[in-house]
């Protein structure tokens, strides 16, 4: 069945260090979305990528969509304690009716 995989599962960094999470799909995706869930909170939409090779930036966050549209990455430059949380990638299910989520990468940051 369709799978969306993410690595690493956990990442701990010192404040100011960079962080990257990677997302891989077993199938080609029409688009990929990224969400952030703070501890005790709910997922919040960050961004959507649609085009092959697309790169988008939001302040210290850089999102990439692979050329084959089967992988994506989220890079955070100079992490801050406010970046703590779990980052999920999500892609359309096979029926194209809803999103399926990767397992997520949980980021912890120490100051």
Partner 1 sequence: DTEVTQTPKHLVMGMTNKKSLKCEQHMGHRAMYWYKQKAKKPPELMFVYSYEKLSINESVPSRFSPECPNSSLLNLHLHALQPEDSALYLCASSQGGHLLDGYTFGSGTRLTVV
Which residues of this protein are in contact with partner 1, per CB under 8 A?
30-31, 33, 35, 41-45, 48, 50, 88, 92-93, 95-104, 106
β-sheet bridge partners, residue 21: 74
Closer of 17 and 100 to partner 1 (Cβ): 100
Strand 61-65 versus strand 71-76 pairing type: antiparallel
Q: What minimum distance in Å lies between the beta carbon of 99 and partner 1? A: 7
Residue with tokens 């999920």: 88
In the complex, least distance from residue 16 CB atom to partner 1, rounded to whole angstroms: 27
Give the number of residues written for the chain: 111
Instruction: Report the residue number, 17 or 46, with the smaller CB distance to partner 1.
Output: 46
How far, rounded to the nearest angstrom, does the alpha carbon of residue 35 sit from its chain's CA centroid? 7
The secondary structure of residue 96, as a DSSP letter, is S
- Closer to partner 1 by Cβ: residue 58 or 80: 58
């Amino acid at each position: 069945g369709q799978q969306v995989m993410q690595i690493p599962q956990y990442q701990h960094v010192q404040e100011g260090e960079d962080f990257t999470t990677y997302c891989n799909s077993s199938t080609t995706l029409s688009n990929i979305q990224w969400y952030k869930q703070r501890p005790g909170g709910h997922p919040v939409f960050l961004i959507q990528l649609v085009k092959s090779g697309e790169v988008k930036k939001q302040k210290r966050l850089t999102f990439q969509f692979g050329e084959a549209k089967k992988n994506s990455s989220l890079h955070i430059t100079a992490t801050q304690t406010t970046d703590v949380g779990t980052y999920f990638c999500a892609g359309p299910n096979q029926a194209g009716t809803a999103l399926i989520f990767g397992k997520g990468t949980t980021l912890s940051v120490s100051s």
